[in-house]
């Protein structure tokens, strides 16, 4: 099996940061509203339940990564299932990833058009982000991970700053009564959250570049803890400030929290800073997804270089982002109703299926030169 030419490896810490970026930038924008609508004041409990339900996927990713060191999902799927079936699974995974990135591009554009620049054509934002992502993806996994390391502290600091500055507006009464309608709404909310947390399965697409391979365990642990903490904080912040009814009505809850910040008529309008940092976070997510999709296509086609594939795949993603969704209402319906089921099928289903078959067949791992 021919290896993909990649000029660098990343540390487990960097892989964990990439996991964090693969979930948080879009989740913090849309999830609070969805969960408040479904689970009301118990929205934060839905995040807790979803995190617990995501743990088996984390165990599977860890087992596959250590069982097949120096290999990505696209490579060890052929070892587990055979050449033909392995390529079919890899192709389906890539198609799901292309659709995911098209969805993220549309989320990005709809947010900017709806919240900031309503007169700007949506395609301007989509094409601009995709073009910059192509440049970043072509530079490889080390450049992507270093970009994420630079942006993450800014994003963490800003989220915590927003939540701290709106503390006077919070009321703990908004969280009671707990489980007023039973566990059903919480479970329904948890399924929506799984549509976002399931994206940690993309770690399998870069598992061959994590050094040492055993570090994938640390990546999954730190990544999931980070996702859990910030999702709970953002959802709690929205419900504590606005109450569940108002949070459900708002489309972009974190943006609304940022707009509320006003200290002595001096520190105001910090939502502009939030926009800048959030755009950087979405850029990293799109760039990372495009990179993995290019690696997957190159592996299936047995090419040695993924770089020529980045631009055509990005163009295809842009086209899908425009054609698949009519407007923001259609996009929100997809995120809330369709995405959880779809994510369970590809993000949870495919890695778990590969792990079960690998455990039964016990194939021998094959070391692939990834340089």
pLDDT in tens, 109-154: 999 998 888 888 999 999 999 999 999 999 999 999 999 999 999 9
Distance (Å, whole) CA 341 – CA 363:
30
Q: Structure tokens of 328?
A: 């923001």
Nearest to 127 by CA among 147, 109, 101: 109
Give the structural domain span for 183. Answer: 12-361
- Long-range contact pairs involving 220-224 (C-beta distance under 8 Å, separation at least 24): 220/16, 220/19, 220/58, 220/61, 220/62, 221/16, 221/58, 222/12, 222/13, 222/16, 223/15, 223/16, 223/17, 223/18, 223/19, 223/20, 224/19, 224/51, 224/54, 224/55, 224/58, 224/197, 224/200
Q: Structure tokens of 115?
A: 């919240």
Contact of 252 with 115, CB cutoff 8 Å: yes
Asked whether residue 206 carries a pLDDT value surpassing 90, the answer given is yes
Question: 0.75 cut: is pTM over it?
Answer: yes
Q: Average the pLDDT over 11-25 and give the result.
A: 93
3 found inside a domain: no
Asked whether residue 368 carries a pLDDT value surpassing 50, the answer given is no
4 found inside a domain: no
Nearest to 4 by CA among 313, 300, 354, 311: 300
- Reported as a pLDDT band with limits 50, 70 and 90, residue 304 is confident
Asked whether residue 1 carries a pLDDT value surpassing 70, the answer given is no
Q: Is 6 helix (H, G, I), strand (E, B) or coil?
A: coil
264 found inside a domain: yes
Distance (Å, whole) CA 129 – CA 281:
11
Distance (Å, whole) CA 137 – CA 292:
9
369 found inside a domain: no
Q: Average the pLDDT over 8-23 and give the result.
A: 91
Distance (Å, whole) CA 101 – CA 120:
21
Q: Average the pLDDT over 319-334 and give the result.
A: 92
7 found inside a domain: no
Nearest to 279 by CA among 163, 30, 20, 105: 105
Residue 352 CA to its chain's centroid (Å): 19
Number of domains in the chain: 1
5 found inside a domain: no
Residue 204 CA to its chain's centroid (Å): 13
112 found inside a domain: yes
Strands in 149-285 per DSSP E: none
2 found inside a domain: no
For 191, other C-beta atoms within 10 Å of its C-beta total: 17
Distance (Å, whole) CA 370 – CA 220:
22
Contact of 70 with 208, CB cutoff 8 Å: yes
Distance (Å, whole) CA 81 – CA 70:
18
* CATH code at position 221: 1.20.1740.10
Asked whether residue 6 carries a pLDDT value surpassing 60, the answer given is no
β-sheet bridge partners, residue 263: 267
What is the average pLDDT value for the chain, to the nearest integer? 91
Per residue in 225-262, pLDDT (tens digit) is 999 999 999 999 999 999 999 999 998 999 889 888 77
- Reported as a pLDDT band with limits 50, 70 and 90, residue 7 is low
């Amino acid at each position: 099996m021919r290896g993909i030419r990649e000029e660098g490896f990343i540390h487990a810490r960097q892989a964990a940061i990439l996991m964090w970026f693969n979930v948080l930038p879009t989740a913090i924008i849309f999830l609070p509203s969805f969960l408040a609508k479904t689970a009301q004041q118990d929205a934060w409990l839905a995040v807790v339940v979803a995190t617990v339900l995501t743990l088996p996927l984390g165990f599977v990713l860890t087992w596959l990564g250590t069982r097949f060191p120096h290999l990505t999902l696209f490579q060890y799927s052929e070892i587990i299932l055979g050449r033909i079936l392995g390529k079919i699974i890899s192709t389906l995974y890539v198609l799901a990833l292309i659709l995911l990135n098209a969805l993220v591009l549309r989320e990005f554009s709809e947010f900017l058009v709806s919240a900031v620049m309503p007169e700007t054509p949506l395609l301007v934002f989509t094409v601009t982000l995709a073009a910059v992502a192509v440049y970043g993806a072509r530079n490889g996994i080390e450049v992507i991970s270093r970009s994420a390391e630079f942006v993450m502290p800014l994003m963490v600091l800003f989220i915590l700053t927003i939540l701290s500055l709106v503390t006077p507006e919070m009321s703990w009464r908004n969280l009671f009564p707990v489980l007023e309608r039973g566990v059903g709404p919480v479970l329904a909310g948890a399924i929506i959250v799984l549509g976002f947390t399931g994206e940690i399965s993309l770690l399998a697409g870069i598992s061959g570049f994590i050094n040492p391979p055993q570090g994938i365990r640390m990546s999954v642990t730190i990544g999931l803890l980070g996702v859990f903490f910030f999702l709970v904080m953002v959802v709690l912040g929205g419900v504590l400030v606005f109450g569940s009814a108002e949070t459900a009505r708002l489309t972009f809850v974190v943006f609304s929290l940022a707009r509320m910040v006003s200290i002595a008529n001096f520190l105001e309008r910090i939502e502009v800073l939030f926009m800048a940092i959030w755009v950087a976070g979405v850029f990293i997510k799109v760039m990372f997804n495009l990179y993995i999709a290019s690696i997957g296509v190159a592996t299936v086609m047995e090419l040695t270089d993924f770089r020529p594939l980045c631009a055509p795949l990005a163009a295809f993603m842009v086209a899908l982002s425009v054609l698949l969704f009519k407007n923001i209402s259609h996009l929100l319906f997809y995120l809330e109703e369709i995405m959880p089921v779809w994510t369970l099928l590809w993000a949870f289903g495919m890695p778990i299926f590969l792990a079960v078959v690998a455990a039964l067949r016990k194939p021998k791992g094959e070391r692939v030169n990834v340089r």
